[in-house]
Amino acid sequence: MQESRVNNHDDFDFEHSPGIPAPLPPGEHIVWQGSPDKWHLALDAFHLRKVVFYFALLLLVHYISGLNTPAGSSQGISFSTTVLLSSAVLAILFLLAWLSARVTIYTITNRRLLIRFGIALQITMNLPFTQIKGADMRVGKDGFGDIPLQLKDTRRVSYLVLWPHVRPWRFAEPQPMLRSIADVEHVAKIIGSVAAQSSELFEAQATAVNSHQQSSHDELSQGNLIKPEAL
């Protein structure tokens, strides 16, 4: 099993193992686990860079307009208030990003993908590879990036509940997303490889079931399955 930045702490002792609420079925095993990077999550999901730019511009306007204003005036007080407000907002945004990254664990097994998330209430989303029809990838210069997943059925997927682990602006058909993960290209290759193997296994099982059903149908047609003596 490969791990990447998995946050493991005592707040989730109720779990069977980190990121997994119950024991995996026989034959299923963990292939990869990882968590979002708090700094990238703060910049990308919580738009910390844009908020910093906004407050910097606001403070610059206050400063320029207050150059000829006497000290202690209402404009000077307003500038100080803006500094405190901007600092508080930035601190809250980073705290939310840190908490979100801390509680989130992405798990890839040989059968499914699990997303454990939620600051106040922890939820684990179960995504079997048989329900995933495709995936995209966004990678940055530093190797961090996102992997949004395209589902066959999105009726039970809530954009608001999943955020920030969802592709931005896809409200009609939400796409769960592994967000701000390191070495995203490597993780994308793992998902592609495991999904292909899972699809082959599913097709093999479906073929076996169909063969068994056809065999049973043939026996019924020949009158070999139910004998008069058993009635």
Give the pLDDT score at 223: 41
Q: Are strands 2-4 and 30-34 parallel, antiparallel or unpaired?
A: parallel
Give the pLDDT score at 52: 93
What does the longest C-alpha to C-alpha distance in the chain come to?
109
Which tokens is 204 given? 């093999």
Give the pLDDT score at 212: 44
Of 142, 136, 46, 53, which Cα lies nearest the Cα of 98? 46
**CATH code for the domain defined by 2-36+104-189:** 2.30.29
Give the pLDDT score at 69: 63
How many whole angstroms separate alpha carbon 205 and alpha carbon 202?
5
Residues of the chain with pLDDT under 70: 1-16, 66-77, 199-231
Tally of CA atoms within 13 A in the half-sphere of 25 that contains its CB: 4
| Residue 50 one-letter amino acid | K
CA 143 from centroid of its chain's CA atoms: 17
Question: Is the pTM value of this prediction over 0.85?
Answer: no
Give the pLDDT score at 1: 56
How many whole angstroms separate alpha carbon 115 and alpha carbon 123?
8
Of 26, 70, 72, 41, which Cα lies nearest the Cα of 144? 41
Burial level of 152, CB count in 10 A (0-12/13-18/19+)? exposed
